A and B are shown apart, each in its own frame.
Chain A
Amino acid sequence: GESVGLHLPTLSVQEGDNSIINCAYSNSASDYFIWYKQESGKGPQFIIDIRSNMDKRQGQRVTVLLNKTVKHLSLQIAATQPGDSAVYFCAERENNDMRFGAGTRLTVKP
């Protein structure tokens, strides 16, 4: 079946560096994509979203890039901080069907 997945299960970066978390999706009909952050013991929290009619969206320190040609989604975190350490999930939505990737654990080294 169609699925949402992640290229890397773990990512370790130095504090202050930029982080890039990748996600591949296979449902070409998906029209809405979201990145969530999940800290230990908490529920996922919304970071940023993007609709399929866009290829880039920026927030505070975060940027999401969408490449529909290769069905690829990425989350860029600028100047990564220790508080950014968490598991990051991408999600895709088609109508009422939202599917999540397995997650990437980001660890920020001081």
Chain B
Amino acid sequence: EAQVTQNPRYLITVTGKKLTVTCSQNMNHEYMSWYRQDPGLGLRQIYYSMNVEVTDKGDVPEGYKVSRKEKRNFPLILESPSPNQTSLYFCASTRGANTEAFFGQGTRLTVV
């Protein structure tokens, strides 16, 4: 089954404690991206990657890092999480520029 898998689904952490949210896709898609979803703001892109070792900032990259060492994985790293990063995060993958994105199930992160 074609899918995008994120882990964990839920996470509560404390300010400043580094964390990683993993994302994996089994569709051999080149393009992957991370979004955060906040009430009234919709989905905002954090980072995206067009291929292995190629990443670029989205609209809200501050406080986040990503890596793309292999095609299927695109982890999101919060080196020093802060409460304003409490949000619902989605990873997505796309076959090409003008095709639909497949989304993971989401990771609800709470930073206290």
Contacts and interface: CB of A to CB of B under 8 A. Distances in A.
Interface residues of B, number: 26
Secondary structure dominating the interface of B: strand
B19 interface: no
B97 A93 contact: yes
B28 to A, nearest CB: 18
Interface in B94-112: 97-106
Contacts of A51: 98
Interface string A11-54: 00000000000000000000110101000011111100101000
Contact of A98 (B4, B90, B101): B101
Interface stretch (B41-49, B64-72, B75-83): B41-49
Given A34-B100, A96-B50, A89 B43 contact: yes
5 contacts: A32-B98, A34-B100, A43-B106, A98-B45, A98-B101
